[in-house]
Amino acid sequence: MTSLEKKIDKIFSCWQKDLCPGGQVVVRKKDEIIYNKNFGYANLEHLIPIKDETVFHVASVSKQVAVMCVLLLQEDGKLSIDDDVRDYVAEYIAFDEPVTVRQMINNVSGIKDQWELLGLSGVRIVDTITQKDALSLISKQKKLNFAPQTKWLYSNSNFTLLAEIVEKTSGKTLNEFATERIFKPLGMKKTFFKDNYWKVIPNKANSYYDVGDGSFIYSVLNYGTYGATSLNTTANDFLKWMGNFKKPTVCSPDTIKIMSDAPKLKDGKESSYAGGLFVGEYKGHKYIEHGGADAAYRSATIRFTEDDVDIVLFSNTQNLLMKDAAFAVADAVFGYEKEESKKEEKPEVYSDEVNLDEVEGYYFPKSQETIMAFKIVVKDGLPHMQNPYGLAPLVHISGNHYKIEQLNLEIYLGKESALKTKEKLIPLEKIKPYQPFDSTHYTGRYQSEELDTFYDVIEEDGILYTSHSRNGQHVLYQVEENKFLTNVPFTFTVEFVKEEGKIKGLIFTGNRAQNVEFVKVASIS
């Protein structure tokens, strides 16, 4: 076993236990495969190991292929990416601002994200979600998150609309077009878009969520929506796609340039998202990359363009941060040795003692750069993190320092709390359920025509909750004077709209769907 092989093997040690999911890892350098291994099981129930031919749902890695399909139609002279999206799919556009196809490709359109809209409307991620479901909500949005080209913000809706443009312009399904123009010419025999949730997939890797207590559960994925997601492939098949960025055979060099060049925003700043691809630099090495996450499927694909190095990681569980793992593989390939571990300086939030009575609660980043929150519960004398499937114990490191095993993150709990990522320490504050002096000021039914749904704000034992027929009942936590946090099922902030001292509505804001308005239509006694 070579030194490189040992180093890369170690990165994926969590997939080398007894009975666990895992993934495919392939690395190519200058036309030579220098690492190709499979780990774990594709099916835990029937003890089927992951092999070269195992097919993975690769989630948002799909976006670059959808973009290529649009650009191939531009090469054919059938569309221009600088046209308004209304020129091709006007029936799905209700907002007033002009938005170009190029702006959607670059994620600078301002169009609200379909997953947050669907979640807020009451569609659960485990439901059978079709292309029609996504398009139905996208087509009702009368306002954008922001004026086009003024900001960069990731939105899956862009790529669902791109798939529709491909189908209307070509007269073929996205899968038919991609198969004819991309997959067959490149010899990608095990690659396709899953455009119906009932499709049978030979050699499929099932999705398993690591709940953090040593066990795995089946994580359901019933998507029938595509373009933004639903590409199914293998790591070796996908290497053929990545080879096209080096030597274009299914498209022109100009198309590769469009996909690889990040646009400038109106303020002159350069975005980090190009044509279905992130662009950046790692330790002086330029790259194009994209990852993906749906259910428990995870993926990371990186091409270091000047070094001619391709890295592909596909997994059927979420217990590795895939982008970090991909960069760790890059470190091994480029020969960067891990620095001698110095005695780590304990941050100011570290404490030798931890008072478990102070630990329980709902935590929120003080910076509020990203809207996220999580709940810590003490059970059997140990702190646990609540996840979608129950409670996962935190691994104690020392003092108030713990590890969130299934997310590969660390956390400090106490009066001064913080989440530790690879890059930085994120200060946390523990927020409390809102207990208003007069709950009748807030309680009532709030309706959204754009989402075709309503929420009730109710009071129980002096605490305010949002209540929804599908999303259930969730506490409103106060962040600022008129700003609250709730989970429906994604984390959203909630602001009540006042006119002449009376509450007339509320606004939900997520990370990718912002300022979703609800009007108060009734009071609740």
DSSP class of residue 517 equals: E
Residues with Cβ within 8 Å of residue 345, at least 6 apart in sequence:
none
Is the per-residue pLDDT at 1 higher than 80?
A: no
Percent helix, percent strand, percent coil in the chain, to nearest 5: 25, 35, 40
Architecture of domain 34-68+187-334: 3-Layer(aba) Sandwich (3.40)
Give residue-wise pLDDT tens across range 342-379: 556 789 899 998 888 889 999 988 876 777 788 999 99
Give residue-wise pLDDT tens across range 63-109: 999 999 999 999 999 999 999 999 999 999 999 999 999 999 999 99
Q: Higher model confidence: residue 479 or residue 182?
A: 182
Give residue-wise pLDDT tens across range 226-238: 999 999 999 999 9
Mean pLDDT across the chain: 94
Rounded alpha-carbon distances, angstroms, from residue 106 to 168, 272, 288: 21, 9, 14
Q: What six digits make up the tokens of 456?
A: 């009730």
Q: Distance between CA 425 and CA 199 in Å, rounded?
A: 44
Phi-psi region of 31 (alpha: psi -120 to 50; beta: other; left: phi over 0): left
pTM: 0.94
Q: What is the mean pLDDT of residues 433-437?
A: 90
Chain mean position to CA 135: 19
pLDDT for position 372: 79
Q: Distance between CA 376 and CA 384 in Å, rounded?
A: 6
Going by CATH, does the domain composed of 439-522 fall within 2.40.128.50? yes
Residue 423: pLDDT band with limits 50, 70, 90:
confident
Q: Distance between CA 203 and CA 43 in Å, rounded?
A: 10
Q: What is the mean pLDDT of residues 139-159?
A: 97
Instruction: Identify whether the C-beta of residue 301 lies closer than 8 Å to the C-beta of residue 290.
Output: yes
Instruction: Identify whether the C-beta of residue 318 lies closer than 8 Å to the C-beta of residue 298.
Output: yes
Report which secondary-structure segment, H or E, holds 224. Answer: strand 223-224
Q: Which residues pair with 495 in a beta bridge?
A: 483, 507
Residue type, 274: A
Q: Distance between CA 104 and CA 472 in Å, rounded?
A: 33
Q: Higher model confidence: residue 215 or residue 141?
A: 141
Residue 195: pLDDT band with limits 50, 70, 90:
very high
Q: What is the mean pLDDT of residues 173-186?
A: 98
- Could you give the maximum distance between any two Cα atoms of the chain, in Å? 74
Is the per-residue pLDDT at 341 higher than 70?
A: no
Q: Which residues pair with 459 in a beta bridge?
A: 464
Spell out the domain ranges in the chain: 34-68+187-334, 356-431, 439-522
pLDDT for position 366: 82
Where b means 16+ CB within 10 Å and e means fewer, 136-155 reads bbbebbebbbbebbebbbeb
pLDDT for position 409: 85
Q: Distance between CA 129 and CA 229 in Å, rounded?
A: 12
Strand intervals (E) in 366-476: 374-379, 382-387, 390-393, 395-398, 401-404, 409-412, 417-420, 425-431, 444-448, 453-460, 463-468, 472-475
Give residue-wise pLDDT tens across range 304-333: 999 999 999 999 999 999 999 999 999 999
Q: Higher model confidence: residue 404 or residue 87?
A: 87
> DSSP string covering 109-155, please?
S-PPPHHHHHHHHT--TTS-EEHHHHHHHHTT--S-SS-TTS-----
Residue 208: pLDDT band with limits 50, 70, 90:
very high
pLDDT for position 525: 66
Q: What is the mean pLDDT of residues 16-36?
A: 96
Residue 160: pLDDT band with limits 50, 70, 90:
very high
Is the per-residue pLDDT at 121 higher than 80?
A: yes
Q: Which residue has the tokens 């609740």?
A: 524
Sign of the C-alpha dihedral, residues 248, 108, 197, 317?
positive
Q: What six digits make up the tokens of 102?
A: 């190029």
Give residue-wise pLDDT tens across range 379-392: 998 999 988 888 88
Task: Let me know if 479 is exposed, middle or buried by CB neighbors in 10 A (0-12, 13-18, 19+).
Answer: buried
Residue 338: pLDDT band with limits 50, 70, 90:
low
Give residue-wise pLDDT tens across range 293-309: 999 999 999 999 999 99
- Strand, coil or helix: what is 35? strand
